[in-house]
Structure 1
Amino acid sequence: MATTLTATFATRREAEMTVERLVQEQGIERTDIFIAAAGDENTAGEETAGSDAEAGEPSPESRDDAALNGRVIVSVDVADEARAGEIRSAFAEFDAADVATD
């Protein structure tokens, strides 16, 4: 039976790392994974991380313009319970909160 698992992340980096783990190591199709802001505004999460925190070379200045407007939601459509366990593990690895099954 198909189901959807969702979780929220404090940073865009955590959400993106979760997606990469699911695609590259668990073989989940990208078309089955969705990322969205938890609220009405665009968001990079609740705190800066990754490329939102530091500029790349040759500009070493820190950035302070990240859209910090709430958490980032990742949802994954899955067809079987074994895959659901893999997804929950990836969510936990990257500090997901509010993990739910629809």
Structure 2
Amino acid sequence: MADDSTTTIRATFDAREAADLAVEHLVQQHGISRPDIFIQSATDRNTTGSKPSGGDASHEDGSRDDGAHEGEIEVSGDISANQIAAVQRSLGDAGAIRVSER
């Protein structure tokens, strides 16, 4: 008999770019429906991540003219139990700094 139970997987990222990449991995590689994936601040702060990347990088002299990066980003979703190991690997490949399930 197949295990058709589900679990919620959570991954924490320090850059929005990595969180967005993780969502694409979940949708394209694992067939998880986009409306079933949630992106939110991992803390009570409004955040785009705790480190700059891509278009949100600072100027060459280190100055910034945008909001400060404060806090990490959490990506979560419900997956079938038989996908846990593969999804954990994909989230790690996308740059997750922590992955947990419950």
Shorter-normalised TM range: 0.7 to 0.9
Cross-structure match for 1:9: 13
Identity of aligned residues (%): 40
Which sections of structure 1, spanning at least 5 residues, go unmatched?
55-61
Question: Could you tell me how far apart the structure 1 residues matched to 2:54 and 2:77 are?
Answer: 23
Structure 1 residue aligned with 2:48, among 21, 44, 59?
44
The 5-angstrom pairing of residues 11-90 of structure 1 reads 11-53=15-57, 64-78=65-79, 80-90=80-90
Cross-structure match for 1:101: 101
Q: Name the aligned partner's letter for residue 98 of structure 2.
A: D
Q: Normalising by structure 2, what TM-score?
A: 0.80
Q: 1:66 to 1:24 in 2, by over 3 A?
A: farther
Task: Give me the CA root mean square deviation.
Answer: 1.9
What is the total number of aligned residue pairs between the two structures?
A: 94
Tell whether 2:99 aligns with 1:91.
no
Q: What is the CA distance between 1:81 and its match in structure 2?
A: 2.2
